[in-house]
Every structure is written in C-alpha cells, then in structure tokens.
Amino acid sequence: MTVGFVYDDIYLEHDTGQHPENSDRLRNIMSVLEESEVKAQLIAIPSREITIEELARVHSKAHISNIKARSESGGGWLDVDTIVSPDSYQAALCAAGGVMQAVEAVMEGEVTTAFALVRPPGHHATWDWAMGFCLFNNIAVAARNALEKYSLERILIADFDVHHGNGTQDTFYSNPHVLYFSTHQFPFYPGSGRAEEIGRDEGKGFTLNVPLPAGCGDIEYLRAYNEILVPRALAFNPQLILVSAGYDAHWKDTIASMQLTTSGYAQLTYILKALADETCDGKLVLVLEGGYHPEALPYSVRASFEVLLGETQTYDSLGAPDTPHQTPNIDGILSQVKKMHNIEQVSSMHLGS
C-alpha cells in the first residue's frame, strides 16, 4: 500500500490576508504531518500547471480570463467571500493541475491512494463564477480529465465539506457517469443541496444530497454514509473514488454548526477507503476543500492520512465537543433520500463504529 500527496509552496502565494481561507491552513497541515512523521511515510507527487484546454472542460474561457486579469492587475474581491491576489491565478492553475496529478498517479499505479493538499479550494466554483473561496473547481476538472483520459464510465465523488458543493453538482448534474454524494449542513451556504436535487435527464438519480440539520456529529454522519452512500456506491460500482475533503464540520470550527470529531473524520475516511478497496482496487483520491480551525484542520487531515496508511488507531488530541449536544433526529431525511433513490435497506457492508 502506497500513499501519495501533492503539495507545492505556490499554494501559499494565494495571499488572502486574514481571510479564513489563508495560507496558514497549509502551513499548519504540513507542520503536523512532519512532526508526527506521517509525511515520511508518503510519496510526493509533483504539481503542475493545468492547461487552459484542460480547464475549459469545466469552466468558460471568459471565467478563466477574468480570474487571470483580476489577479494580474493586483487582485481584489470577486464577491463578498472570495478574494484574489497577484499570484492567485498561478496558484489556482497549479491547484487544479495538482489534483489532476494525484488522480493520474493513482490511475497509473504509481501510488494506491493520494491526498491533494491544494488551495485555493474548488467545489463551489461553477462554469462561469468564482464563489465560496473557490476560483476553479479542482475536483471537477480532475474527474472530467479522468473520464476522458482513462475512458472511465463510473466515478464517485463524495463531498463531506460542511457546505454543499454546488459547483461540482452543477458540472455533472446531467451526467450518469459521475455519482455525486454530499452531506452538508442545511439550510446553509450556498443554499443548494436539497434532497430533491437528484440530477436531470440522463443524470437523474446520480446526485445524492443528504442535507443535515445543524448539530449533527459522528453518529449522524456515519448513519448517512452507511445507510445512503454505501449501498448506492456498491450498486454504482465506481472505477475511481474522489473526495471533496472539507474539515469544516468539525466541532471546533466556528464557520458552521456541526459536531464532527477528528475521530469521526477518520471513520468517514475508513468507509471511503473500504469502498475503494471493494469496488476499484483502492483507487481513492482526497482533495482538500474547507476546514478553518488551526488545530482541527491539520489533525483531522493527519487522521485521514493515517487511515490511508492502514493505521488502525488514529490520533485525536481534541476529543469530543466541550459540551454535549442534543442529537438531531435525522430519521426523516434519511428515509426521504432512501425513498427517492430506491435504497430500501442498510447494506450488509456496514462500516465504521
């Protein structure tokens, strides 16, 4: 078993100042990985700039040109949430290219699994709009490339960021070759991700949204994964699994109101790894999205890496929430999603604790 990672100092040059999505996120991650000796067990995968032709499979030429022009003219705010600096365009090209490199390393057998530690993040970026801290949709570009380059017919994208990945959903909403699964706080930014959003035309039934109420923690997330994702993914039988790995549902992260623990993230990663082992010879790539707490993010990323490395015990220095929360009842939403997608019962492949 070999685990690769993508990281490049160019990602630090996307200078957002005191914005929640800032370069300290990656500095903290790399520091924890080095101090824990996890990094020493990983295989480095070099980043590269994505080409305009590759990027244009997911984004309009006008959108690409706008990001380039705004960046090279000195930067500024694209909307109330999203900012660019003079080097942001270059960083964003290398972020998208880095994810493609991770996917290609897995598909070509250079590593078994990989984690792309990139920024700016991507899952909110749409065909012609940068939003939610995202400039280009890194995971969507990599998925589109994999479908074409490797003649794949089935890719699963699982998204456990606390925010719904509206850009990724939009990209593949009519595409039956990509199964998009998202758990996210709802109602919440960006406002999409209702259970009724299931895809259209040939892609109908290939978008699975599990909108969760505020306050959900490990138990609720594991139920959503075991009762919804596992049986649907086994039926879909993906040839590659990609993950929008956002760690902002952690109980320490104040950007949202969820209660996941570092151990909870490890269990989600374990489920995804087990699905990959079962369906596609372990071909699994995680892509960094959100996560803004200076301790919760790096330690949760470390826990995910430990699972990928085959560790049976992961490190959780933060533990459970300081004050116990009232567990939301998610029976109704799970039943609704199961009915809409004809998921009648929990799969015998029940994973996590």
The pTM assigned to this predicted structure is 0.97
- Sorted by where each starts, the structural domains of the chain and their CATH numbers stand as 3-340 (3.40.800.20)
User: Does 329 score more than 50 pLDDT?
Assistant: yes
Q: What integer best gives the mean pLDDT of the chain? A: 96
Q: At what angle do helices 296-308 and 262-279 cross, to 10 degrees?
A: 30
* pLDDT at position 344: 77
Region 173-198: what's the mean pLDDT?
Answer: 98
Q: What is the pLDDT of residues 36-47, one digit of tens each?
A: 999 999 999 999
Nearest Cα to Cα of residue 169 among 143, 195, 199: 199
Count of CB atoms within 10 A of residue 245's CB? 29
Q: What percent of the chain has pLDDT over 70?
A: 97
Look at residue 250 and tell me whether its pLDDT is greater than 80.
Answer: yes
- Could you read off the pLDDT of 261-299 as tens digits, one per residue? 999 999 999 999 999 999 999 999 999 999 999 999 999
Cα 88 from Cα 103, distance rounded (Å): 23
E strand or H helix that includes residue 145: helix 138-149
For residue 212, is pLDDT > 90? yes
Cis ω for the linkage preceding 187 (within 30 of 0): yes
Mean pLDDT of 79-92: 97
Active site residues: 124
pLDDT at 324 over 90: no
Confidence of residue 345 (pLDDT cuts 50, 70, 90): low
Give the pLDDT of residue 323: 75
CA 5 – CA 151 distance, rounded (Å): 24
Taking residues 129-134, report their average pLDDT: 98
- Reply yes or no on whether the pLDDT at 352 is more than 60: no
- Any residues with CB less than 8 A from the CB of 219 and at least 6 apart, and which? 327
Per-residue tokens: 81: 């949430």
Lowest mean pLDDT among 196-210, 253-267, 334-348: 334-348
Q: Under DSSP, is residue 276 helix (H, G, I), strand (E, B) or coil? A: helix
The whole-number pLDDT of residue 188 equals: 98
Does the structure show a pLDDT above 50 at 348? no
Asked whether the predicted pLDDT for residue 76 surpasses 80, the reply is yes
Per-residue pLDDT averaged across 197-213, rounded? 98
Beta bridge partners of 45: 6
> Would you state the pLDDT for residue 322?
80
Q: Is the pLDDT of residue 50 over 50?
A: yes
